[in-house]
Each structure stands twice: as structure tokens, then as C-alpha cells.
Amino acid sequence: MPKIDNNLRICERIFSLSGEAICLLDTNYNYQLVNPAYLKLMNQESERIIGKNIKEIFGEETFEIFFKQPFKRCLLGETVEIQGWVNLNLIGKKYIIRTYSPYYDENGKITGIIANLRDQTNFQEAERARQESQESFQKIFENTTEGIAICSLTGKFLQVNQILCEFLGYSEAELLNLNYHQVTQARNLESASILIQQLISQEISYFSLEKQYIHQNGTLVWGQEIASMIRHPDGSPKYLLLTVKNINSQKLAELIQQQNQERLQLVVESSGDGFWDWDITKNEVYFSPCWVKMLGYQPGELPPNIETWESLIHPEDKAMVMETLNSHLKDDSIPYKFDYRVRTKSGAWKWIANYGEVVARDSQGKPLRMAGIHRDISMRKQTEAALREKEKTIRALLETIPDIMIRMKQDGTKIELINQKMFRLLVPSSETNTENLVDLFTAPILQELTRLAQQALATQKLQTYEYAITNNGEEKFEEARIVPLTEDEVLVVLRNITERTQEETLLRESRELLAEIQRISHIGSWQLDVATKKMSWSEELFEIFGFDPANSEPTYTEYFQYIAPEDRMPLQQCFDEAIAY
């Protein structure tokens, strides 16, 4: 079997794993190469795109509007970036960042266009959701029947609503010049201060306290105070949120959320692959029909035991295979997967990929049963010349991805920096030839990356890590995505997520504040899609009506059935006026 070009396989995997939609066009705008992300964005199969002209795919009119001018500039040697909302038949309405880069052959001649499409729709919609959440919070803050205040950690009023002002007899401007302690009756100060300190230290999540307040005219008024803490993303306290109710108000109802856990089951289905199931206690092995036929045997020809399998392993591979098996039997975290040679019935050797895992252990951890698959990989690659050319093309495509990509061993040693051009653009002061990543990352970040690399290799699953860095005095956020490439190395993809993190923080804080106010004020809310008449209820509204949130939300028509008959027409008039407004 020809030697497998490891670099190409790695490049192909990176190209396939990339979340960026990438394609390669020739100078006549015919598709030459696309990655899975591009096919997913276009909702197309590879066979329906490769070799076709982009005009055939999108239409002449769309080509003239969206592609003609940037393509001309690209073929003149310019890298063109365009971003904004697009509404195309194939992909629908999305916010796309389009980057078109010239593709050069080995002689430096432009022979095509590399198109890189980044879907930013979720980012844009998150910003819109944050604004809507903030507007909803402000409406509830202003229109609730309860007094609400947001205070600093020292007790200064930062924001108050009109109800609280009326309750205490102050104007908004007057109350904002006071603090929590100045309107609290003296004998309640000590107990309230202790509870607030417990909130800050996270000993409690909220408290409810009946207490007396000092009115502007000097009299004492009773209220029930419910307090909770708004926190930063790292869990540190940010603001104190207070809701003040009349002492005769009903006690607040708390919504209890129940989380259900689902078991994940391993299902192995692979057309043409052989399946094996080893009962370790009985030393019996089930070899599926595909497993035995793969080696040239008929079902029933091979004795169903582990010794049969061992006798078929190539002598040069046997030590590695048995060591891997014994290690996995002792520790599930050590993966059982490898390529090895197996003797067929004719006496020839066939390359097989073997994957498996222990699926049952007793109470002492002793393995009872193990299962896996056999896959024929003897025809996996063709000629070395074709592989090298394909590798060159894919590497050129990878250079267009606006993320830093690093091949790394599990001990933190850098094997290769994939797209050095982008790295030098984003990190100009770092030495790209260094062999150790300690020169590129701070010690805590590198330690976590190394741990996640080991976890990715052990579980063969994607690992993600978000962290903050300081660059020239400015705090930035990055996301590292660690995916296994081979048995002992991973790919680390670094992306700047500063804008996304800031937007998510604002959205989360706005939603948490909105939900907390609804919960402690016992205020529900709903939204109506005027076009479809579909309603969306908040969790608190389900509690008010006594419905189970797990069931479907009432329709617009059903909602009115829960309203008293004499109130339906006035409510409908309010609906109509609000929609008309």
C-alpha cells in the first residue's frame, strides 16, 4: 500500500472542519472545489455544483448584482470584502461577510478566485434580540405596579421607577440622590445589611424581608422587600436589584424548574463495515457477516473466540494492537482505535481500521463486554502526485480563513502554524518559528489548551475554550476550538470573539434582569406575531395562569377564552389600537 500523505489528510480535514463556507472558482467562474460548510450554506449537493458556472447556480441577474464587479476586481489582484444582508433563493435572507481572494498558480499567475463566506446572521439577530429584551425590560420597569430599584453595591440608587418614588414620597431626582440605608428604618438596617452581604458572597441567591421604610414626610411605611444580585459573567457582583411591594400583597410564587437528563446510546451503523461483539467473560466473539466476508471467509468458517482474531494479526502490528487493547480494557479514556494488517483467507494482508470501546463493566470496574467495527481501508488513497497538488490547493484555501490555526501535540508542542499570513497580521510581534506554544500564550491559557487537547484526543470530540487577553491595554476575547487530527495531535483554531462576547453579555444581562423582575414581581408577558397570530409566553405567565410550560402555548384564540366575557371586547379594542399604532 502506498504511503499515506499525512499532511494532505490533515489539510483536508481542516478544510472540511472549517465553519467558513469556502469555494474555488476558475477565471470563467466555474466551481472547482467546495467544502462541506459551503454546501450546507447553499443547501446543495457537491455533484450539482462542481463544474457548473456560478451564473447557472444563482442566475444571470443575481450574478450581475452581487458577483460581477467584485470578481473583476479580484481577477486584477485585489482582495475584496463585502458584508451585509443578502436575500438569495439558495440561502435565504442572511447577513454574510464575503471575502474574494485571487488564487495564484506556482508561477504567480492568477488562475481563479477563492470565495470565503462567513455567516454572521446569528450575531446580528443576537444584537436585535438584546435590543428587544432591553426594550421589554424598560417597559416592565416603567409600567409595573410594584416599586423597583437598581442599586450600587454601596446602596446608592442608580435607577428607580415611578411606583417606588410614590411609595416613598420622593421625586425621581430626589431619590437618586439618596441611598438604600437612608430610607431604611434604623432597627432594620443591621438585618438588611447582613442579608445583602450574604447576597454579595453568594451564600444566598435572594432574600425577602418585611421592613419599615422612612417616607419623605418622616412617617414609617411598611413594605416587603425582595432583593437579588445581578452579576458579571465571572460571577462577581454588579448591581443590587430591589422590588418593594405593599405589605398586604400576596406572597410571591416561585417557579421550580425540573431538568430531565437523557441517556446517550451508542449506535453503530455503517454500510459495508464489519461489526464485532466480544463477551469477555465467556470469551465469545460475534463476527458479523461483513466482518468475515471482508477477509474472504464465509459465515461460520471462523471459530467465534478472541484467539481467532489474534491469529490473524500481522506479526509487526501485534504488539501495538494488544497494548492498545489492554490499555483500553483498564481505562476507558484511552481510545481503542488503530489501523493494522489482517491476514485474509487467501493469505494476503489487508489494511483494516479497527474502532471499539468497552460497553459494560461490573461494579468493580472489570470489563464485561466490548464492541466495535472493522473497516477496509486498503484502497484509501491513490497516487502521490495527485495528493501533493490537492494539498497545495487546499493550503491556499486555508490561508484565506480569518482564523489562526495551529497543529499542536498534546504536550503543548507546536507542529505547524497553518495560516502564517493571518497569524503575522493578527500577532505581528510573535515568533512563528518557535517550537513551543509557551512563547505564544500565557502560562494559564497554554495549560488549559494542553488539558483540552488531551481531552479531545481521549474522547475524540471537539473541545472549546473562551478566554480573555490584554493587548496594548485593551481587553479582548478569543475562542479556541480544539479538534483531534491524528492519534497524538490536535488542531487549535483561534477566533477573535470580542464583539460576540460583548453582545452576548449585554443580551444575557438584559434577559436575566427582565426574567428576575418578572419572577419577583409576579408579572407575566407575552408576544404576538401579528401576521401568524402566534403567541409566545414568558415562564411567569404560565405560572400566573397555572399552566404547564412543557405543554404548547395557547393560541391567540384560546387566550381570549381565559379572559372574562365582559373584558374580552375592551381587550380586543386595546389589541387593535396597539397594532394600528
For residue 188, name the pLDDT band (cuts at 50, 70, 90).
confident
User: 117-121, 435-439, 520-524, 558-562 — which is least confidently predicted?
Assistant: 435-439
Do 241 and 295 fall within a single domain? Answer: no
Number of domains within the chain: 5
Percent of the chain with pLDDT strictly greater than 90: 18
Does residue 423 lie within any of the structural domains? Answer: yes
Cell representation of residue 391: 494539498
Q: Is 11 in the same domain as 113?
A: yes
Confidence of residue 250 (pLDDT cuts 50, 70, 90): very low
Summarize the confidence of residues 158-172 as an average pLDDT: 85
Per the DSSP assignment, residues forming a β-bridge with 102 are 113
Query: Residue 397: which of 72, 35, 51, 57 has the closest Cα?
Result: 35
**Residues 302-318: what's their mean pLDDT?**
94
For 382, phi and psi rounded to 5 degrees? -115, -135
Q: Is the pLDDT reported for residue 382 higher than 90?
A: no
At which of 77, 102, 120 does a domain end? 120
Indicate if the pLDDT at residue 56 is higher than 60: yes
More confident residue, 5 or 324: 324
What pLDDT does residue 256 have?
25
Tens-place pLDDT, residues 81-112: 999 888 877 778 888 899 999 998 888 899 99
439 confidence band (pLDDT: 50, 70, 90): low
Same domain assignment for residues 69 and 154: no
Sequence-ordered list of residues with C-beta below 8 angstroms from that of 353, at least 6 positions apart, any chain: 337, 338, 339, 374, 375, 377
Is residue 3 over pLDDT 60?
no
Q: If you average pLDDT over residues 70-74, what whole number do you get? A: 93
Domain holding 334: CATH number?
A: 3.30.450.20
Q: pLDDT digits over 315-367, tens only?
A: 999 999 999 999 999 998 899 999 999 999 999 988 888 988 898 888 888 99
Q: Is the pLDDT of residue 2 over 50?
A: no
Together in a domain, 235 and 311:
no
For 209, residues 6+ apart whose C-beta sits below 8 A from its C-beta are 188, 191, 192, 195, 224, 225, 226, 227
**157 lies in the same domain as 236:** yes
Question: Tell me, what's the pLDDT at 10?
Answer: 65
Q: In the structure, how many helices (H) and strands (E) does the chain have?
A: 19, 22
**Grid cell at residue 319:** 504488539
Domain boundary among 101, 120, 139: 120
Whether 383 has a pLDDT exceeding 90, the answer reads no
State whether 341 and 418 are in the same domain: no
Q: Is 314 part of any domain?
A: yes
Domain range enclosing 232: 147-246
- Cα–Cα dist 517/243, whole Å: 8
Cβ neighbours of 316 (radius 10 Å): 10
Instruction: Please check the confidence at residue 37 and state whether its pLDDT lies above 70.
Output: yes
**474: β partners:** 471
Asked if residue 337 is part of any domain, the answer here is yes
Q: Within a domain: residue 517?
A: no
| Domain assignment of residue 62, yes or no | yes
Note whether 295 and 197 are same-domain residues. Answer: no
Most confident of 86-95, 240-249, 308-317, 542-551: 308-317
Q: Where do we find the cell 477563492?
A: 114
Residue 480 is assigned to a structural domain of this protein? yes
pLDDT band at 270 (very low <50, low <70, confident <90, very high): very low
Q: What is the mean pLDDT of the chain?
A: 80
Q: Are residues 88 and 171 in the same domain?
A: no
**Residue bearing the bigger pLDDT, 400 or 572:** 572
> 321 phi and psi, to 5 degrees?
-60, -50
Q: What is the pLDDT of residue 88?
A: 78
Length of the chain: 581
Same-domain check for residues 350 and 415: no
Asked if 161 contacts 148 with a C-beta cutoff of 8 angstroms, the reply is: yes
Residue 353: Cβ-neighbour burial (10 angstroms; 0-12, 13-18, 19+): middle
Given a contact cutoff of 8 angstroms between Cβ atoms, the answer to whether 213 and 219 are in contact is no
**Per-residue confidence (pLDDT) for residue 136, from 0 to 100:** 64
Q: Per-residue confidence at 436, pLDDT binned at 50, 70, 90?
A: low
- CA gyration radius, the chain: 32
Tell me, letter by letter, the H, E, C secondary structure of 58-107. Answer: HCHHHHHHHHHHHHHHHHCCCCEEEEEEEEECCCEEEEEEEEEEEEECCC
Evaluate if pTM is beyond 0.75.
no
Are residue 153 and residue 110 in the same domain, yes or no?
no
In a domain, 252, yes or no: no
DSSP class of residue 402?
A: S
Residue 296's nearest CA partner among 353, 371, 376, 379 is: 376
pLDDT for residue 448 is more than 70? yes
The CA distance from 96 to 98, in Å, is 6
Residue 531 resides in a domain? yes
Percent of the chain scored above 70 by pLDDT?
83
Same domain, 92 and 20: yes
CA 422 to the chain's CA centroid: 23
For residues 331 and 435, membership in a common domain is answered with no
